[in-house]
Chains A and B, each alone.
Chain A
Amino acid sequence: MIVESYSEMFQRVNSKDEGAFIPFIVAGDPDFETSLEIVKTYVENGADALEIGFAFSDPVADGPTVQEADIRALNSGITTAKGFEFIRKIRKFTSIPIGLLVYYNLIYQMGIDEFYETAHECGVNAILAADLPPEEAQDAVDASRKYGVEQIFMVAQTTSNERLQKISKMCKGFLYVVAVMGVTGARKDLKLSTVELVERVKNHSNLPIVVGFGISKPEHVKNVIKSGSDGSIVASALLDIITENLKDKKMMLDKISIFCSDLKAATRNKYK
């Protein structure tokens, strides 16, 4: 299967006057098979790209929702090898870009080179390590270039303009803009400061930008896209549906499918 690149994907959605809708899941949450069905549901209901997390025992950048998902996935027997197997299975039914979200220890333990090589072989487009700032990222960036995987970095409200430019130089694919000061997790309101941050990042970088953290409603997605972001990642709000419907898989998938359609709809009419 020919894999779509992030830049092709952003062009595709932009030409339709849309932003990219990127849902997140932890591979193997709540179990391998259900997790795969959830990803299918994402794809069937408008996902433009996928963000796949590899579970970690100590996810300091994440809030309780993602940590619970990590624990469920680990308890269901997920490993790094099975995580890559998960990606291979996804690649059987979709060619949209796939980004991995991991903690650096998982990369380091497998071997940096081997991790990126395997990721490339499985059809991963990009990797973001939540606890790997540019200062520590040279080895990972070298491996990412070697195997044609794009290395994604985060920027936040605390990131200075000078630092933003430095990060832009190392980053490929898209810049992940952290919408809130804090860890991942669904939030009621999206602050005005997010809109200002999107504008500031746009002024200092030519990369496409995607906003994540705290994006939990269609109106958040709409605001983020309207403010100039090329896409929006939704994580905890989707994981909440999983958490709340663990005993009724059909209900879980039905709710996810409706919610994804609404989230995708909110990315349309970007310039109107």
Chain B
Amino acid sequence: MISDGKFGKYGGIFVPELLIPALEELERAFLKYKDDKKFNQELDYYLKEFAGRPTALYYAKNLSEKLGCKIYLKREDMLHTGAHKINNTLGQGLLAKYMGKKRIVAETGAGQHGIATAVVGSLLGIPVEVYMGLEDVERQKLNVFRMELSGAHVLPVKTGSRTLKDAINDAFRDWVATVDSTHYLIGSTMGPHPYPTMVKHFQSVIGRETRDEILEKEGKLPDAVIACVGGGSNAMGIFSGFIDDKEVELIGVEGGGDGVDTDRTGATLCKGTEGILHGSFSFVLQNYDGQISEAHSVSAGLDYPGVGPEHAYLKVIGRTNYEAITNIEALEGFELLSKYEGIIPALESSHAVAYAVKYAKMPENKGKTIVINLSGRGDKDMFLAAREMGVDV
């Protein structure tokens, strides 16, 4: 490999020997095309015409007045397929095409990354197979239908806890056996090098746009940028625009589940410890021996016992703060934004909204300018949210 893929001591390439040549090939291709004019022209075209970029930085007037702060929402929820995931699947899908790969495999939890991969496969004419835990297949039948409608094939995973981490395991196993023909399109800033760097690169468009937009609207940088963190791709995308601006507070919000002090949580950075999972050294939720725990969050996208290695690094050097929001608080955020702004956020993004409210209410933060990355829209969460709120739909 050209780079060791380390962020401080985090990251790396903890994979079976069989995958090393594939990661080397991927790294070479990524380095070759990331600054390639033709590649970027094509990617920009699809980001604009297919996905709907740029997205607005929307001033949430009602919420701002209620909280006594200036709240801006980065509207990734307006993108095609309903979330920021498409930025990365377009980038990697195009890379797979340039590399001559004949097949794409992906993992998915709730289905958002699976859908974003499926539509890109359809767009670029590359067959897509999506690994999805059997539990998730049953919970998210509508998303399975959406993926298959776009021509992807959904493979239910029956091993382990039958959720996202097992889908990742099976996608890796598939890739180990098919590296010549297949690209494994990882959906977040996790996994072995070059994935964390590459996914951040394709998501950094969020940060670039947000920076330009806030400077245009406010004439200055925001005081804080708040984003939810599962694997960490939407957060890394928006943080990347402000990482060198030390005066901008960067806050990642994890899925606290029933609470960080309970066993039912997805707050890897708040509660976890250093360890190796899915190809990189980062923070993980695990037991004394290093057996990986099952994560829990009301939001499927934050329900993962690992986290991207660059987040681990940013936490340890103190550049970013990580907070946890419980299921109940997230649902309050979900209702609040829907009611005040007429914008229904994804349950993942609702965690960022809920923390922004907490942050805005702190006396020292009065009047501050806050950007929330609204990473996805809540359409996918209607049944779940209604059930949690005791409404029969």
A153 to B18, CA, bound (A): 11
Q: Which of B4, B16, B286 contacts A105 (CB 8 A)?
A: B286
Asked if residues A135 and B13 are in contact (CB atoms below 8 Å), the reply is: yes
Of B71-79, B173-181, B240-248, B321-329, the one with at least 4 CB within 8 A of chain A = B173-181
Q: 8 Å CB contacts to B: which residues of A60-83? A: 60-61, 63-64, 67, 71, 74, 79-80
List, in ascending order, chain B residues with CB within 8 A of A60's CB: 15-16, 169, 172-173, 176, 278
Q: Which of B4, B14, B166 contacts A131 (CB 8 A)?
A: B14
Query: Does A181 sit within 8 A of B, measured CB to CB?
Result: yes
Q: Which residue of A lies closest to B273 (CB)?
A: A109
Asked if residues A61 and B16 are in contact (CB atoms below 8 Å), the reply is: yes
List, in ascending order, chain B residues with CB within 8 A of A178's CB: 17-18
Query: Does B301 sit within 8 A of A, measured CB to CB?
Result: no
Asked if residues A105 and B17 are in contact (CB atoms below 8 Å), the reply is: no
Q: Which residue of A lies closest to B290 (CB)?
A: A109
Q: Which of B179, B276, B279 contacts A158 (CB 8 A)?
A: B179
Residues of B within 8 A of A (CB): 1, 4, 12-18, 20-22, 159-160, 165-166, 169, 172-173, 176-179, 274-279, 284, 286, 288-292
Asked if residues A58 and B292 are in contact (CB atoms below 8 Å), the reply is: yes
Beyond A57-B160, A159-B21, is A131–B289 a contact (Cβ under 8 Å)?
Answer: no
Contact residues of B: prevailing secondary structure: mixed
Closest 6 interchain pairs by CB?
A109-B290, A182-B177, A105-B290, A61-B16, A154-B17, A158-B21
Query: Does A155 sit within 8 A of B, measured CB to CB?
Result: yes
Query: Does A132 sit within 8 A of B, measured CB to CB?
Result: yes
A88 to B277, CA, bound (A): 29
Asked if residues B12 and A135 are in contact (CB atoms below 8 Å), the reply is: yes
Counted as pairs of residues, one from A and one from B, with CB atoms less than 8 Å apart, the total is 111
Interface centre among B1, B15, B16 (most CB of A within 10 A): B16
List, in ascending order, chain B residues with CB within 8 A of A71's CB: 160
Report the minimal beta-carbon distance from A17 to chain B, rounded to whole angstroms. Answer: 31
List, in ascending order, chain A residues with CB within 8 A of B278's CB: 58, 60
Chain A contact patch, size range: 35 or more
Can you list 14 contacts pairing A with B, beta carbon distance less than 8 Å? A58-B166, A63-B173, A79-B289, A105-B276, A105-B286, A105-B292, A132-B14, A135-B13, A136-B14, A154-B16, A158-B17, A158-B20, A181-B176, A183-B173
List, in ascending order, chain B residues with CB within 8 A of A57's CB: 160, 291-292
Q: 8 Å CB contacts to B: which residues of A118-143? A: 130-133, 135-136
Beyond A60-B278, A133-B17, is A67–B179 a contact (Cβ under 8 Å)?
Answer: no
Q: 8 Å CB contacts to B: which residues of A155-209? A: 155-156, 158-160, 163, 167, 178, 180-183
A165 to B278, CA, bound (A): 27
List, in ascending order, chain B residues with CB within 8 A of A106's CB: 289-290
Asked if residues B17 and A182 are in contact (CB atoms below 8 Å), the reply is: no
Q: Which residue of A lies closest to B17 (CB)?
A: A154
List, in ascending order, chain A residues with CB within 8 A of B284's CB: 105
Q: Which residue of A lies closest to B292 (CB)?
A: A57
Q: Which residue of B lies closest to A55 (CB)?
A: B291
A63 to B173, CA, bound (A): 7
A130 to B276, CA, bound (A): 12
Query: Does A108 sit within 8 A of B, measured CB to CB?
Result: yes
List, in ascending order, chain A residues with CB within 8 A of B12's CB: 135-136
A156 to B176, CA, bound (A): 11
Q: 8 Å CB contacts to B: which residues of A235-271? A: none
Report the minimal beta-carbon distance from B88 to chain A, rounded to whole angstroms. Answer: 21
A130 to B173, CA, bound (A): 13
A158 to B180, CA, bound (A): 9
Query: Does A104 sit within 8 A of B, measured CB to CB?
Result: yes
Q: Which of A64, A79, A80, A160 contacts B159 (CB 8 A)?
A: A64
Report the minimal beta-carbon distance from B213 to chain A, rounded to whole angstroms. Answer: 40
List, in ascending order, chain B residues with CB within 8 A of A3's CB: none
Report the minimal beta-carbon distance from A62 to chain B, rounded to whole angstroms. Answer: 8
Beyond A131-B14, A131-B276, A136-B12, is A74–B291 a contact (Cβ under 8 Å)?
Answer: yes
List, in ascending order, chain B residues with CB within 8 A of A182's CB: 18, 173, 176-177
A110 to B1, CA, bound (A): 29
Q: Which residue of B lies closest to A182 (CB)?
A: B177
Asked if residues A158 and B169 are in contact (CB atoms below 8 Å), the reply is: no
Beyond A74-B291, A105-B275, A108-B290, is A133–B160 a contact (Cβ under 8 Å)?
Answer: no
List, in ascending order, chain B residues with CB within 8 A of A63's CB: 173
List, in ascending order, chain A residues with CB within 8 A of B179's CB: 158, 181
